[in-house]
């Protein structure tokens, strides 16, 4: 990506290509006690094929909070 411009469009294209490559999707979940009055226990996860992989225990993903 060194020769491509760092733009939102290029980011979305690369993310889409990665999701397609791994047959993956990214979602957000919350604890069972969450309701219309509040959300707790947020976490982000991906499905890679049919396997759920927890990415982080927050409502966003960045390079610092992805679980190993």
Q: In this model, does residue 15 exceed pLDDT 90?
A: yes
Q: In this model, does residue 3 exceed pLDDT 70?
A: no
Burial of residue 45, with CB atoms counted within 10 A of its CB: 0-12 exposed, 13-18 middle, 19 or more buried: middle
Q: What is the mean pLDDT of residues 29-53?
A: 90
The reply to whether the predicted model has a pTM over 0.85 is no
Query: How much is the pLDDT for 14?
Result: 93
**pLDDT interval class at 67 (50, 70, 90):** confident
Q: Per-domain residue ranges for the chain?
A: 24-68
């Amino acid at each position: 990506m060194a020769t491509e411009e760092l733009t939102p469009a290029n980011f979305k294209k690369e993310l889409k290509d990665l999701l397609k490559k791994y047959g993956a999707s990214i979602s957000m979940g919350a604890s069972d006690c969450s309701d219309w009055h509040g959300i707790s226990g947020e976490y982000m996860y991906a499905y890679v094929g049919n396997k759920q992989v927890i990415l982080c225990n927050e409502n966003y993903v960045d390079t610092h909070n992805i679980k190993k």
